Structure 1
């Protein structure tokens, strides 16, 4: 049965097997998946007997798939505007000043705040790192040697599900002097907990690799054991900061020697590379996640995207921490990506406009291994889509739909966000009846934590 019919839209399906864009329609089944996508007008047989409230007339609107963030830290949504003039490690210390004092219940609300912020801004699926609860020592560039508390991990999982955000839930393994048996046993517990989450929202589990900060090769060996134990993707933050570059680069061999290189290893950031590292990663089928706005904000550098793509690596785009992109704006993230690549290569063709939209939708879904469910408007995929109105406010004539969508539109033109064929954001208003409660909880909790942290000693 048709749950929703979208008609008279200019569709940017991001389907690699059909030409885009085109004026057309698509229908959504009761299970929230796309049943049909066609050019032109829907036939009378589709319209017959369909109630008016099941028909969305998108005349004059651009309709594209929900954005997919291939690299996110949702719990940081409550820490924006901190570490304003710091690079990576100084920023981490400033950004976690108050959240590190919180408990698992606090982190639940911080994460839910981040998830609903994503949804409001058209990001309908996200890879989420869940390192809250394991403090980072900036001076030593190390996480504390400990097993992460599963209460924090479970709280972040529940928060994403309660907000209605599709997600890949990425967990950090035990750090430092922790036995592999204990770390893997804890991972088993997280796997069991994920089984209770709606599979339509929970797109999978992953490992948050930590070799960039590890003290020995054992970290890479443990990550490979975890990946193979449960068939998990691994996305490490790797070659990110411009400091101690040689030490970072030397650890690529740790992954290679541990047998980690392959399609299930996705390098997050991957900026401080060499020709040899890129070639080896590409030959093994590895992917990467690119965070252009974050990399600029933290002075991390510019990833060599044209070369990485030329060698065949799969690339997705992420919004990273909401406290280092500050505004979770996928439109701004795309334009930042274009500006960085074109400015550093002196070549406007180094990253075409359509390609950057593809990287933030289908490409991100592909690199995360979830493109069978999200990232495009194709039959069988979830009906996660955006209605963008280039006439409100007016951006002028639409000479090219991709050009207008990527270069001229922004969050102010984002008219509606739909997940599974159900409206989740109408303008700036979320349909979640608990949205205001989430905001109140975050502000109240941060006020108390700040008073506690900043109290005279």
Structure 2
């Protein structure tokens, strides 16, 4: 299968001004980008020619931090910060079956694709259901659910056609050290059974922040080394118990976890010393500005973090704490929140957040060899965004207008592997209509099953 896109405003994310090229063309075949350029396109026999008539063509967005199983739980916990919101949303999902998780995850994955996100780092819901926090840690009193709960979430992302890195908790509140390490192998094996162009890798959902085990960091490092996976840890997110949170940074440092394979998710309640140590160790960060605002968690110190040299990716987080899976909203909220905090417009520019939301996220996740930019040899994941439908006026600085003035109304097409995956906000996946029906039927049943007040 071959695709030739012509008359495009290309944003490749490579080179000066993020590789912006007017009157560009792109050729993709067998799921990957073959060539791209400007001016007269080549004549390619049997190619599907798509004339975008001056629309932007840019990489599909890469979310560096997501929880796709929450797609049926939007609007909950709106008057709560992180832990109260978790009690509300995850308390509901604690009563869901593997089939419920499958359809909710499929619904969330298709929502991402329809909104322009073609790759996601996704945290599967742990096998131990959500427990209330006591003194900054989980109680460890839950029961280990069957692996089918996690397998269903992996299968749903693959069936949606979303590219993903699949992260799973170690659920270290249950089992011996050896059992915890061995159990993660189930995740690795199941991911390996999926098309490698869809499942881009397995990863750990770092949980030292909440683990009741004093050796949680050492266990995570043991799993990282044994299976060769990265670790993204929810860390320093909420305003509650800040000093207790910060004290746990030493656990990662002392366990030898700091390095390119460790990503700190959120990383809001930092200190200059913690930032300096994390940067010196080579760790990265995923930034979720929309959910950080929704949960009143705060604004991460991006100027200091970037000046220290940390790699930063942008994450949409989940539909239950951003409610709308809109990458343009997320970019703008991030840029505006930093500017509001610093008083300096130059502290975060449109091109900064666009890079974080595409190639920057891919780099943080270790998948930049496959996604995040439009380059020959990479997977042909791209969005077509029309600045004249609706019209936004003259494009004085096209790349900046792409961030500042575009919205879901302008997003016309999404391609994954050179194949049309969504058009005008509607997924082409044959399971899409059923996913909507299943989520609307199942989620009230889940609530009733648990006697859950929604």
* TM-score between both structures, scaled by the size of structure 2: 0.96
Given that residues 148 and 173 in structure 1 are in contact (C-alpha distance below 8 angstroms), is that contact kept between their aligned partners in structure 2?
Answer: no
Counting only pairs closer than 5 Å after superposition, residues 345-424 of structure 1 correspond to structure 2 as 345-424=342-421
Partner in structure 2 of residue 149 of structure 1: 146
Partner in structure 2 of residue 425 of structure 1: 422
Shift of 1:413: 0.7
1:181 aligns with 2:178: yes
Greater mean deviation of Cα atoms: 441-450 or 290-299: 441-450
Greater mean deviation of Cα atoms: 13-22 or 297-306: 13-22
Counterpart CA distance in 2 for 1:290 and 1:80 is 20
Counterpart CA distance in 1 for 2:59 and 2:39 is 19
Partner in structure 2 of residue 105 of structure 1: 99
Q: How many residues align?
A: 449
CA RMSD in angstroms comes to 1.5
Counterpart CA distance in 2 for 1:329 and 1:208 is 23
Segments of structure 1 that go 5 or more residues without pairing to the other structure are: none
* Equivalent residue for 2:68, pick from 74, 81, 99: 74
Given that residues 362 and 371 in structure 1 are in contact (C-alpha distance below 8 angstroms), is that contact kept between their aligned partners in structure 2?
Answer: yes
Partner in structure 1 of residue 264 of structure 2: 267
| SS of 1:137 mapped into structure 2 | coil
Shift of 1:133: 4.2
Counterpart CA distance in 2 for 1:413 and 1:425 is 13
Partner in structure 1 of residue 54 of structure 2: 60
Residues 82 and 360 (structure 1 numbering): CA distance in 2 closer, same or farther, change over 3 Å? same
Partner in structure 2 of residue 86 of structure 1: 80
Partner in structure 1 of residue 35 of structure 2: 36
1:116 aligns with 2:110: yes
Partner in structure 2 of residue 49 of structure 1: 45
Partner in structure 1 of residue 158 of structure 2: 161
| SS of 2:409 mapped into structure 1 | helix
Counting only pairs closer than 5 Å after superposition, residues 215-230 of structure 1 correspond to structure 2 as 215-230=212-227
Segments of structure 2 that go 5 or more residues without pairing to the other structure are: none
Counting only pairs closer than 5 Å after superposition, residues 293-332 of structure 1 correspond to structure 2 as 293-332=290-329
1:342 aligns with 2:339: yes
Shift of 1:177: 4.6
Residues 188 and 396 (structure 1 numbering): CA distance in 2 closer, same or farther, change over 3 Å? same
Task: State the 4+ residue runs in structure 1 displaced beyond 3 angstroms.
Answer: 16-19, 48-51, 143-149
Counting only pairs closer than 5 Å after superposition, residues 5-44 of structure 1 correspond to structure 2 as 5-16=4-15, 20-23=19-22, 24-30=24-30, 32-42=31-41
Counterpart CA distance in 2 for 1:346 and 1:166 is 37
Partner in structure 1 of residue 169 of structure 2: 172
Shift of 1:139: 4.1
Counting only pairs closer than 5 Å after superposition, residues 128-147 of structure 1 correspond to structure 2 as 128-140=122-134, 141-142=137-138, 144-145=140-141, 147=144
Shift of 1:134: 2.3
Shift of 1:15: 1.2
Counterpart CA distance in 1 for 2:289 and 2:249 is 22
Shift of 1:192: 1.4
Counterpart CA distance in 1 for 2:198 and 2:312 is 23
Shift of 1:304: 0.5
1:441 aligns with 2:438: yes
Given that residues 147 and 183 in structure 1 are in contact (C-alpha distance below 8 angstroms), is that contact kept between their aligned partners in structure 2?
Answer: no
Shift of 1:401: 1.1
| SS of 1:418 mapped into structure 2 | strand
Deviations, residues 295-332 of structure 1 (Å, cap 9, x unaligned): 00101010011110111000000011210000000000
* Equivalent residue for 2:195, pick from 190, 193, 198: 198
Residues 265 and 148 (structure 1 numbering): CA distance in 2 closer, same or farther, change over 3 Å? farther
Residues 149 and 411 (structure 1 numbering): CA distance in 2 closer, same or farther, change over 3 Å? same
| SS of 1:149 mapped into structure 2 | coil
Shift of 1:403: 2.0
Counterpart CA distance in 2 for 1:421 and 1:144 is 46
Shift of 1:48: 4.8
Shift of 1:26: 1.2
| SS of 1:365 mapped into structure 2 | helix
Shift of 1:19: 5.7
Residues 268 and 280 (structure 1 numbering): CA distance in 2 closer, same or farther, change over 3 Å? same
Given that residues 267 and 286 in structure 1 are in contact (C-alpha distance below 8 angstroms), is that contact kept between their aligned partners in structure 2?
Answer: yes
